[in-house]
Amino acid sequence: MLLVLVTVAFNVGAAAVDFLRVPWVLDNMNRYGVPRSWLPLLGLAKAAGAAGLLAGLVVPALGVAAAAGLVVYFAGAVFTVIRSRCYKHLPFPGTFLVLAAACLTAF
**pLDDT confidence of residue 106:** 94
* Cα-Cα-Cα-Cα dihedral sign, residues 26, 75, 70, 72: positive
Separation CA 47–CA 58 (nearest Å): 18
Separation CA 105–CA 35 (nearest Å): 32
**pLDDT confidence of residue 61:** 97
**pLDDT confidence of residue 15:** 98
Q: What does the domain layout of the chain look like in residue ranges?
A: 2-106
Separation CA 45–CA 32 (nearest Å): 18
Residue type, 14: A
CB-based burial label for 74 (10 Å; 0-12, 13-18, 19+): buried
Q: Which residues of the chain have pLDDT under 70?
A: none
